[in-house]
Structure 1
Amino acid sequence: MLVAERQRKLVQLVNERMSIRVNELSKLFSVTEETIRRDLEKLEKEHLLRRSHGGAVSIEKEQSEVSYQEREIIHSREKQRIASEAVKLIEPGDQIALDASTTAWYMAKELPDMRLTVLTNSIKVAVELSKKEQIRVISTGGLLVPQSLSYVGPLAERSLSAYHVNKAFLSCKGVHVERGLTDSNEFQALVKKRMIEIADRTILLADASKFGIRAFAHIASMNQIDSVISNSDLDPSIEEALKEKSIKLSTV
């Protein structure tokens, strides 16, 4: 990993966690603690974070990621309908990936107890599926992000690379027909990107409010998406654009 890339991810991580220790950063990025201290010193001079005793703290007043509790409320009815439609695409014996989105959690709640393997980086999805005896659940592990109750980072990405799934179901912060899928969180974006790479088929779960939005971190181009499930409020021009790209659209 290049120095600039490591430092960019370091700032992102500090802003997510609000505070983090040098020894943890050293293990995460596989560099010495002295290297991390030099990074922190440079980033503090650039006013990107503030060093503390044994680590660093965020100087952002607002966290970049909306909490799970807040996301459960935002467009909850639409997300539940989208999740119900997505569950219809799952067949006994499937191997699927579910991201840490609220819609994926609603899917986990609706999934019948059938022979299935689910790979996820979401703690809430894993806990929900643990109630269903026939479903085998594999958690990626990795760095815990308390704000989203999910695992991210190099360990989560490497874990995903060890598997293959038939279908990946994921959501994101923004969907732009020309620019693709984006997320406000770089670490979450990388995990979603890896899920797409290991899947035969990727299904995007996105209510109408997400379209036309471009967030900070790029996940994938639209041509990497096989189908989209959205709600009926979707703008007709977007429906037409998806059709032109041969992306199957289902609205609920």
Structure 2
Amino acid sequence: MFAIERMNKIKEILFKDKRVDVFELSELFSVTEVTIRRDLDKLEQMGFLVKIYGGAVLKEDAALQPLIAESEDELIEEKRMIGKIASHMIDDGDAIYLSPGTTSLEIARNLKGKKTTVVTNDITTALELKDAAGSKVLLTGGDLIPSTSKLVGGFTLQTLEGIHINKAFIGVKGAHLDTGYTVDTYEETMVVQQVKKISSEIIMVADYTKFNRKGFAKLGDLLMADKVITNKQIPAEYKKYYFENAVKLYTTYDFD
């Protein structure tokens, strides 16, 4: 059994029994207790559980977290670094927008302690900040896209009228030299277009695997962003493109 499968099974057990035991999981999966503790560490970092002596208990609101996709788990460190880089761009007093997605969730996890106003149409991101001292959270209304925590539609757009955002952090499904930035649904593009109208600065946040990929709906060309935060593995042609077009590019090299 792969680590991803094992962790998803642990999550299923947590939802059912509300707690797990390290020894019992070790016996169930025929792996060492050290391996199980490592799995629990990762699940705690992702917000699924709280570790206790000898095991772990289900974290409040963890049911809203999706099962872990293998690609996302492999990229958790890359996304965590993007979150840290983004947090250094945010000043006390800023009003920021965080788009839906796991990368924006990592930004939220680095905001605790900052005095900011956070606007988001992602339920999971809002819940991550519910106990963050200093952060004022505005969760838009809207229609929930099935099997996600994304809010879209007319109510979302209405919430975004009449406010000003200093820095908008936008996650994408794909970034391509031909098609620009893309996301999963047309409804998401409508939200981003409204965010662009009310924001002083657009900052794209995308792990390196998003480049040379195409999603269903186009957000805009690669020049729609004032800044881009990604990883050091970004393909060279994109580094060249951003440099030649005066788009500021930030990668994990800044923190090595």
TM-score (norm 1): 0.70
Q: Does 1:101 align with 2:101?
A: yes
1:129-161 per-residue CA deviation (whole Å, 9 max, x = no partner) reads 111131111111111124221211111122112
Structure 1 counterpart of 2:234: 234
Find the aligned partners of 1:160 and 1:133 in 2 and give their Cα distance.
Answer: 24
TM-score (norm 2): 0.69
Q: CA deviation at 1:74?
A: 5.2
- Is 70-79 or 214-223 further displaced after alignment? 70-79
Q: Does the 8 A contact of 1:183 with 1:219 survive in 2?
A: yes
Structure 2 counterpart of 1:46: none
Q: How many residues align?
A: 186
Q: CA deviation at 1:111?
A: 1.1
Q: Does the 8 A contact of 1:178 with 1:222 survive in 2?
A: no
Find the aligned partners of 1:126 and 1:146 in 2 and give their Cα distance.
Answer: 18
Structure 2 counterpart of 1:14: none
* Alignment counterpart, residue 69 of structure 1, candidates 64, 67, 70: 67
- The 5 Å alignment of 1:1-252 reads 68-70=66-68, 72-73=72-73, 75-252=75-252
Q: Does the 8 A contact of 2:112 with 2:135 survive in 1?
A: no
| SS in structure 2 of the partner of residue 161 of structure 1 | coil
1:207-242 per-residue CA deviation (whole Å, 9 max, x = no partner) reads 111111122101122222001111011111210011
Structure 1 counterpart of 2:30: none
Q: CA deviation at 1:178?
A: 4.0
- Is 192-201 or 100-109 further displaced after alignment? 192-201
Find the aligned partners of 1:104 and 1:149 in 2 and give their Cα distance.
Answer: 12
Structure 2 counterpart of 1:48: none
Find the aligned partners of 2:223 and 2:118 in 1 and give their Cα distance.
Answer: 24
Q: Does the 8 A contact of 1:68 with 1:102 survive in 2?
A: no
Q: Does the 8 A contact of 2:112 with 2:129 survive in 1?
A: no
Find the aligned partners of 2:197 and 2:178 in 1 and give their Cα distance.
Answer: 20
Q: CA deviation at 1:125?
A: 0.9
Q: Which amino acid aligns with 2:208?
A: A
Structure 1: gaps (5+ residues): 1-66
Change (3 A) 1:161 1:177: farther
Find the aligned partners of 2:99 and 2:77 in 1 and give their Cα distance.
Answer: 19
Find the aligned partners of 1:248 and 1:178 in 2 and give their Cα distance.
Answer: 20
Which structure carries more relative contact order (alpha carbon 8 Å, separation 6+)?
1
Change (3 A) 1:99 1:234: same
Find the aligned partners of 2:74 and 2:173 in 1 and give their Cα distance.
Answer: 12
Find the aligned partners of 2:133 and 2:110 in 1 and give their Cα distance.
Answer: 14
Find the aligned partners of 1:237 and 1:180 in 2 and give their Cα distance.
Answer: 14
> Percent identity, aligned pairs only?
31
Q: CA deviation at 1:174?
A: 0.6
Q: CA deviation at 1:177?
A: 2.9
Structure 2: gaps (5+ residues): 1-64
Q: CA deviation at 1:113?
A: 1.8
Q: Does the 8 A contact of 2:170 with 2:204 survive in 1?
A: yes
Find the aligned partners of 1:196 and 1:101 in 2 and give their Cα distance.
Answer: 18
1:162-207 per-residue CA deviation (whole Å, 9 max, x = no partner) reads 3210000011101113432111222222222322222100110111
